[in-house]
Amino acid sequence: MDDTDSRRGGCTTWVLTELLSLARETGVDLLGEPRLVRLNPNIPWKTRGNGALAAHFGVGSGPGRTVGSIGGRPVRSYARGRPLSPLRAERFREAAWQRVLERSERGSAGTDPAMVAAERPLPTELYWQAVREVVPVGSTLNALRRAGAWWRTDGDPRGLIGASAAIAWPARRVTWELTAYRTEPRIGLRRVVDADSVRTVAAAHPSLFLCEDPRTRRILVSPHTNCPVLYGLRSTRPGPLLRARSSVRSEPVDRWVLFRTNQGTGDHLVSRSPRDLGPFRAARFAATVASPPEVRRGGHVALHVVDEAGGRVECVAFEPTKTLPRVAQQLAPGDRVQLWGSRGDDPVVRLEGIRLVRLVPRAGRRRSLRCPECGTTAGSLGSSKGYRCPACHRRFPPEASRRPRLEPPLRLGDYHPTPSARRHLAPRGPEP
Ligand code: ATP
């Protein structure tokens, strides 16, 4: 499902927890983990992180394991199971849709809930298109018809794009997020999450990522919006999250759920020439720096590069990413780089990362030439004519004052935005 929240409040991940609760009430089992799937981060009509949600329901078999807790009771998940009978599936779908409607921020501008149900996985193309391109809802509707899927919408049907993509996500490259939610009366109040306890769990479990911005020491696990999320712990493995959760000290947790996600996978980035990059899309491409970088008002750095096909591309490293403008500013014409970033309406590429592949040697400052005989500073005889010592009249060739060559000031490798400025999908990199 998708599009259940608004800028004023709500959260689609929370609405999904309501479906997990409904399943438990009605004896329907959860198979595998719920999915939190981030889609094209450049879509202008997203509310916040362009997330869509999916879960697989059926009749579980084998031992279950706990993947959440709602109302003080565990949410169990089964690794294997069989489909619900057609009648139970039909009843569950309709009840789920009613609950989605009840729990959505209906009536708020831009909240148009949508839900899709399918008996088989949907074509993965629906995911790749939704994470990388701008999808017309008509093409999603056609795909849903071809797949024999069931769907409901309330208002604009655009939410079907995200809802279908969440089911279609192949989930090969994955990370995990354990999301903890607030109790109803505290929503809207200042969040109480003990920063030291977050730092301690991050240090104890190296698979956790983006817990803290080491530059500012700011804790990054809590949102700043009016939504029911208290905190989200992200990890490359699920086990440590289940252990870490109980060590985070915070205000009361109403419920928590472990999600399988595509966060940190870089799935939105496609290797393509910036010339083929349409509005609201992202690319990764090789390029050579064409001219000295320009530092603009606000500390943003504009970088002109030439891509492999010889096309000139304007890129910008925004100040809040901290690392990227610092690196971009030190680049020199001729440096070989790989860049990744997105564009909005205009063709400027907003950088999301820089790989330094090869750097041209830097020229040092021109030295003033001292006469080796008497130590007096030699004077120039004019361009390319060399130098003469005014005291002892010795002459020196023009090369005598050549600029020394310096090692480039940067190390080769990947540079990512400072953790607080990273997008949900941004490829995971070292946290400086
Ligand atoms: P939150 O993360 O807080 O749940 P959100 O940022 O996901 O909110 P939504 O309110 O869900 O924002 O709005 C995003 C809308 O954009 C949805 O209707 C979704 O179906 C649609 N959408 C997602 N990806 C694409 C895409 N690639 N092309 C066109 N529409 C898209």
pLDDT, tens digit, for every residue of 246-269? 999 999 999 999 999 999 999 999
156 in any annotated domain: yes
Report d(CA 153, CA 160) in Å as an integer. Answer: 8
Is the same domain home to 104 and 131? yes
The residue whose CA has the least distance to atom 15 of ligand 1 is: 46
Q: Do 147 and 127 reside in the same domain of the chain?
A: yes
Amino acid at 256: W
163 alpha carbon – ligand 1 mean position (Å): 9
Which protein residue's CA is at the shortest distance from atom 13 of ligand 1?
A: 46
Residue 271 DSSP label: B
CA–CA distance, 110 with 16 (Å, rounded to integer): 19
The pLDDT of residue 110 is: 73
Give 190-246 pLDDT, tens digit per residue. 999 999 999 999 999 999 999 999 889 999 999 998 899 999 999 999 999 999 999
Kindly state whether residues 329 and 392 are assigned to the same domain: no
Beta bridge partners of 256: 69, 180
The predicted pLDDT at position 407 comes to 63
Q: Residue 429: inside a domain, yes or no? A: no
Q: Which atom of ligand 1 is closest in space to residue 163's alpha carbon? A: 20
Distance between Cα 46 and ligand 1 center (Å): 4
Is 349 in the same domain as 246? Answer: no
Q: What is the pTM of this model?
A: 0.90
* C-alpha dist (Å) from residue 236 to 170, 176, 182, 265, 278: 17, 6, 24, 10, 32
Kindly state whether residues 387 and 412 are assigned to the same domain: no
Q: State whether 224 and 299 are in the same domain.
A: no
Question: Minimal CA–CA distance to 342: which of 321, 324, 316?
Answer: 316
**Domain that residue 372 falls in:** 363-406
The answer to whether residues 414 and 384 belong to one domain is: no
Ligand 1 mutation target, pool 8, 18, 36, 45, most atoms within 8 A of CB: 45
pLDDT score recorded for residue 432: 41
Q: Which residues of the chain have a pLDDT value below 50?
A: 431-432
Regarding whether 52 and 152 lie in a shared domain, the answer is yes
Q: Which of 261, 286, 320 is the last residue of a domain?
A: 261
Pocket test for ligand 1, best of 14, 38, 46, 111 (most atoms within 8 A of CB): 46
Do 40 and 2 contact (CB within 8 A), yes or no? no
What are the φ and ψ backbone dihedral angles of 29, each rounded to 5 degrees?
-95, 150
User: Which atom of ligand 1 is closest in space to residue 134's alpha carbon?
Assistant: 28
Please indicate, yes or no, whether residues 181 and 142 belong to a single structural domain of this protein: yes
For 414, residues 6+ apart whose C-beta sits below 8 A from its C-beta are 353, 354, 355, 429, 430
What is the position in ligand 1's atom list of the atom closest to the CA of 225?
A: 3
Structural domain contains residue 7: no
Instruction: Judge whether 142 lies within some domain.
Output: yes
364 Cα: distance to centroid of ligand 1 (angstroms): 50
The region, left, alpha or beta by phi > 0 then psi within -120 to 50, assigned to residue 276 is alpha
**Closest-CA residue to 338 (of 351, 357, 311, 321):** 357
Domain edge (last residue) among 261, 284, 309: 261
Q: How far apart are CA 359 and CA 114, in angstroms?
A: 50
In a domain, 174, yes or no: yes
| Number of Cα atoms under 13 Å in the Cβ half of residue 18 | 19
CATH number, position 176: 3.30.70.2200
Domain boundary among 261, 288, 316: 261
User: Using CA positions, which residue lies closest to atom 30 of ligand 1?
Assistant: 135
Residue nearest to atom 17 of ligand 1 (CA): 159
Name the residue of 50, 270, 281 to mutate for ligand 1: max ligand atoms within 8 A of Cβ: 50
> Considering the domain boundaries, does residue 57 fall inside one?
yes
Distance 265 CA to ligand 1 centre (A): 18
367 and 355 in a common domain: no
Contact 415, 356 (CB under 8 A): yes
Lining residues, ligand 1, CB within 6 Å = 2-3, 5, 11-12, 39-40, 43, 45-51, 130, 133-135, 158-159, 161-162
Both 308 and 253 in one domain: the answer is: no
Look up residue 137 and give its two tokens. Answer: 């809802």
Do the domain assignments include residue 5? no
Instruction: Report the number of distinct structural domains present in the chain.
Output: 3
267 in a structural domain? no
Atom 16 (ligand 1) nearest CA: 46
Please indicate, yes or no, whether residues 194 and 136 belong to a single structural domain of this protein. yes
Shortest-distance Cα residue to atom 8 of ligand 1: 47
Q: Which of 161, 169, 268 to mutate to test the pocket of ligand 1 (most atoms within 8 A of CB)?
A: 161
